[in-house]
C-alpha cells in the first residue's frame, strides 16, 4: 500500500534547467534524479513483495523530504527575488504537474474495470472521489482500510494516499511560509519553528502508534507524516540551492561525499532490513530516515559533489525523471493483472511482464501527457480552438476524454457501499465441498481420534483431556476434521481475528469454563503482532497442560515476521508445541484456494491431522 510518494519536481534527461522556480529558472540538480530513481525502485520492489526490499516503503519517506526541500527552495528563491509569492501561479504549476497523469491513470483504471470487472467499479466510487480531491489518506483512515493487512482485492488507487499528503502540503505550506517570512524574518528562527513542528508530528506518530496493532493510521496520517516534509523544508531554508557553489576545498568535498555516501548506505540497509510491522520505524525510525535523507539531498544538490555525478548516471536519471509516472502507474498494473502466490517461474515471469508494462505506461504518460501539459498544451489548444474552432474540435475531445471517463466511473447506485475490503468466499466454498468425497491426504502420521471428555468416567481425566482451539478463518476451514480427530474439541474461530484479540477470547473462555487444558492457537493469518503480546498470552495460559502454536502460510509481507515470533516463543515455554504448517504445506498448491491461504478439503484435512498428531504426542 496496498503502498506512496510524489516526486514533485521532475526534469527531462537532456540536462536542461527544469527545476523551475515560480519565476525564473533554477539550477538543475541531476543527482536528485538518481535519488528519485532509488526511492521509486524501492517502493516498486516492496509492492512486488520482494523479501530483500521489506523496507521498500521507506521510499515514500525519502520523497516526502525531497518534496519539502524542493518546494520550499522554489518559494524561498522567489521570495528573495520579488519579496512576494504568486500563490495562484504556484498552485496552477502544481496542478499542471500532478493532475494530468493521475487523471489519466484513474480513467484507465475505470475503463479497465468497466470492461473486465464492473462489480468492483461501483465499490471504488468513494475511493476515486477521495483521490481526485486529495483527501484519500483520511478517507482510508476513516474507513479503516489497512495498507498492510488485507485479503480482499486491493484498490488499484490505494498507493495514492501519499499524493494526498503532498497536495495538502502544497495548498497550505506556501501560505504558512509567507506568514513566517513576514512575522519571523530571521532564518534561524524559522528553521527552529520548522523543526519544532517536525518534532510534534514525530511525537504524534509515537503516541498514536500501538505496538502489535495495524500501523495504517500513523502511516497514512498527514499529522503523523508531515515531519518529513518539514525536515526537507528546514533544509531548504538552511541550504538554498542558489547559494551553493563549487568553490570548496578538496578536503571539504571529500567529507561531503563521504557523508552523502554513508547516508545512501544507511538508506539501502534500512530498505533491506526494516519492515512495516516493527516498532522501530514508528518510534523514531522514520524520523531517522528523514534526517539521513536530508543529508543525502544536501550532498546531491551541491554542484561540487562527485557523488551527485555518480547518482546522475544516465539509467538512474532516466528513471528519476519519470519516477512520478512510474509511481502512478506501477501499482494499478500489479493490482489489475494479479499476482502469483507461489515463488515459481511463472511468478517471476509475471513480475517481469508487469514491470515492463509499468515502464512503458510511465514513459508514454511522461512523453504524451505530462510534458506537453506542463509546457502549456491546454493553453495552446485553447488559443487555436478560439481561432479555428471547427478545425480543432478533436483537440478538445482528446483533452476532456479522461474527465468524461472518470465521471462515468463514479456513476453508481446511491446505496452502493463504500470500498471495504471484502471477506474471501474460501470458507463458504470449503464448507460446500464437505458433502463430497474427501481426497485422502498423506499426513506424517494419521492420528487416532482422542476420546471425548464426555466419554471419560473420571472427572479429572475429563478436565485433562479438554481441548480448545482459538483461531481465525483457517481454523474454521479445518474445523470439521479437527472435530473428527479430536472429538469434543471446542473451536472458537472468527474470520479476520488477530493475535491482539486472543487474550480477550481466552479470558471469556476461562470465565465460561470452556477453556481446556490443551489450547491450540492459530493466529497470524490476518496480520503481524509483537512478541510481547504473544508472550503475555502464553504466560496467561501457564496452567495449561499443552499449548499448540500453529505457524502460518500467507503470501503477505508479515508471514515471516509471524513465523519467526512463533518459533522463538515455542523455545521459551516448556508447555508449547509448534506445528510447522508453513514447511508442511510447501509446494502443495492443491491444498489452497487462489489466495494461497484458505484451505480446500484436502488441505483442511491434512492441516487438522498435523494438529491432532501434535496433541497426541503429548497425551
Catalytic residue numbers, as ranges: 473, 595, 598
| CB neighbour list of residue 447: distance below 8 Å, 6 or more residues apart | 485, 609, 612, 613, 615, 616
Cell numbers for 576, please give them.
Answer: 508449547
Give the distance, in angstroms, between the CA of residue 577 and the centroid of all CA atoms in the same chain. Answer: 33
- Report the run of H or E that residue 449 belongs to, with start and end: none
With beta carbons less than 8 A apart as the criterion, state whether 33 and 66 touch. no
With beta carbons less than 8 A apart as the criterion, state whether 600 and 592 touch. yes
Per DSSP, the residues of 42-108 read: HHHHHHTT-GGGTTTTHHHHHHHHHHHHHHHHHHHHHHHHHSS--HHHHHHHHHHHHHHHHHHHHHH
From residue 141, how far is each of 137, 138, 146, 154, 211 by CA, in Å? 6, 5, 8, 15, 18
| CB neighbour list of residue 321: distance below 8 Å, 6 or more residues apart | 10, 11, 12, 13, 33, 36, 366
Nearest to 21 by CA among 103, 80, 61: 80
Relative orientation angle of helices 161-183 and 58-82, to the nearest 10 degrees: 30
Per DSSP, the residues of 155-189 read: PTTGGGHHHHHHHHHHHHHHHHHHHHHHH---HHH
DSSP for residue 212: T
CA atoms of 526 and 496, how far apart (whole Å): 6
Place of cell 470458507: 427
Please give the order of strands across the beta sheet that includes 546-550.
490-493, 467-471, 518-522, 546-550, 576-579
The C-alpha angle 554, 217, 531, rounded to 5 degrees, equals 50
Strand partners, 490: 468
- Taking the chain, what is the end-to-end CA distance rounded to the nearest angstrom? 45
CA atoms of 603 and 592, how far apart (whole Å): 7
What helix, strand, coil percent values describe the chain, rounded to 5?
65, 5, 35
With beta carbons less than 8 A apart as the criterion, state whether 191 and 234 touch. yes
CA atoms of 237 and 291, how far apart (whole Å): 15
- Integer-rounded Cα Rg, in Å, for the chain is 28
The C-alpha angle 179, 184, 185, rounded to 5 degrees, equals 100
Place of cell 485553447: 382
Amino acid at each position: 500500500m496496498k503502498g506512496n510518494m510524489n516526486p514533485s519536481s521532475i526534469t527531462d534527461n537532456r540536462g536542461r534547467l527544469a527545476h523551475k522556480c515560480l519565476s525564473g529558472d533554477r539550477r538543475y540538480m541531476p543527482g536528485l534524479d538518481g535519488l528519485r530513481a532509488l526511492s521509486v525502485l524501492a517502493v516498486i520492489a516492496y509492492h512486488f513483495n520482494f523479501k530483500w526490499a521489506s523496507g521498500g516503503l521507506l521510499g515514500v519517506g525519502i520523497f516526502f523530504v525531497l518534496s519539502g526541500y524542493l518546494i520550499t527552495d522554489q518559494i524561498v528563491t522567489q521570495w528573495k527575488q520579488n519579496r512576494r509569492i504568486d500563490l495562484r501561479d504556484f498552485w496552477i504549476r502544481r496542478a499542471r504537474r500532478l493532475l494530468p497523469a493521475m487523471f489519466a491513470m484513474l480513467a484507465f483504471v475505470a475503463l479497465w474495470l468497466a470492461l473486465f470487472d464492473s462489480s468492483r467499479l461501483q465499490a471504488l466510487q468513494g475511493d476515486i472521489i477521495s483521490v481526485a480531491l486529495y483527501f484519500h489518506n483520511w478517507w482510508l483512515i476513516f474507513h479503516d482500510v489497512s495498507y498492510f493487512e488485507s485479503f480482499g482485492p486491493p484498490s488499484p488507487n490505494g498507493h495514492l494516499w501519499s499524493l494526498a499528503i503532498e497536495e495538502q502540503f502544497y495548498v497550505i505550506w506556501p501560505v504558512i511560509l509567507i506568514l513566517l517570512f513576514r512575522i519571523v524574518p530571521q532564518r534561524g528562527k524559522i528553521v527552529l519553528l520548522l523543526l519544532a513542528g517536525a518534532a510534534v508530528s514525530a511525537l504524534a506518530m509515537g503516541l498514536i502508534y500501538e505496538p502489535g496493532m495495524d500501523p495504517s493510521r500513523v502511516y497514512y496520517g498527514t499529522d503523523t507524516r508531515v515531519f518529513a516534509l518539514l525536515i526537507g523544508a528546514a533544509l531548504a531554508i538552511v541550504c538554498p540551492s542558489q547559494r551553493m557553489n563549487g568553490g570548496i576545498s578538496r578536503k571539504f568535498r571529500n567529507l561531503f561525499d563521504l557523508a552523502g555516501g554513508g547516508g545512501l548506505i544507511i538508506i539501502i540497509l534500512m530498505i533491506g532490513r526494516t519492515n512495516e510491522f516493527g516498532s522501530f520505524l514508528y518510534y523514531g525510525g522514520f524520523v531517522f530516515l528523514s534526517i539521513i535523507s536530508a543529508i543525502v539531498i544536501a550532498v546531491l544538490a551541491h554542484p561540487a559533489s562527485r557523488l551527485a555525478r555518480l547518482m546522475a548516471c544516465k539509467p538512474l536519471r532516466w528513471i528519476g525523471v519519470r519516477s512520478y509516472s512510474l509511481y502512478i502507474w506501477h501499482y494499478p498494473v500489479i493490482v489489475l493483472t494479479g499476482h502469483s502466490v507461489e515463488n515459481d517461474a511463472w511468478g517471476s515471469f509475471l513480475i517481469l511482464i508487469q514491470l515492463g508494462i509499468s515502464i512503458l505506461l510511465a514513459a508514454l504518460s511522461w512523453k504524451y501527457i505530462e510534458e506537453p501539459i506542463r509546457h502549456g498544451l491546454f493553453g495552446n489548444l485553447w488559443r487555436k480552438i478560439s481561432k479555428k474552432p471547427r478545425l480543432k474540435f478533436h483537440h478538445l475531445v482528446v483533452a476532456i476524454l479522461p474527465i468524461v471517463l472518470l465521471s462515468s466511473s463514479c456513476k453508481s447506485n446511491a446505496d452502493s457501499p463504500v470500498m471495504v475490503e471484502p471477506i474471501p468466499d474460501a470458507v463458504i466454498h470449503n464448507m460446500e465441498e464437505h458433502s463430497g468425497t474427501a481426497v485422502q491426504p498423506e499426513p506424517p502420521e494419521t492420528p487416532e481420534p482422542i476420546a471425548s471428555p464426555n466419554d471419560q468416567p473420571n472427572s479429572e481425566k475429563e478436565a485433562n483431556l479438554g481441548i480448545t482451539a482459538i483461531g481465525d478463518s483457517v481454523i474454521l476451514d479445518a474445523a470439521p476434521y479437527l472435530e473428527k480427530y479430536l472429538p469434543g474439541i471446542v473451536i472458537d474461530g472468527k474470520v479476520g481475528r488477530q493475535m491482539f484479540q486472543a487474550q480477550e477470547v481466552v479470558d471469556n473462555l476461562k470465565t465460561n469454563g470452556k477453556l481446556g487444558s490443551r489450547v491450540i492457537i492459530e493466529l497470524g493469518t490476518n496480520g503481524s503482532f509483537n512478541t510481547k503480546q504473544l508472550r503475555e498470552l502464553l504466560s496467561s495460559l501457564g496452567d495449561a497442560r499443552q499449548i499448540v502454536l500453529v505457524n502460518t502460510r500467507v503470501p503477505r509481507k508479515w508471514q515471516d515476521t509471524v513465523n519467526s515470533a512463533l518459533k522463538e516463543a515455542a523455545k521459551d515455554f516448556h508447555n508449547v508445541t509448534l506445528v510447522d504448517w508453513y514447511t508442511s504445506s510447501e509446494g502443495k498448491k492443491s491444498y489452497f484456494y487462489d489466495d494461497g491461504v484458505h484451505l480446500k478439503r484436502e488441505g483442511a484435512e491434512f492441516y487438522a491431522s498435523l494438529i491432532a498428531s501434535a496433541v497426541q504426542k503429548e497425551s
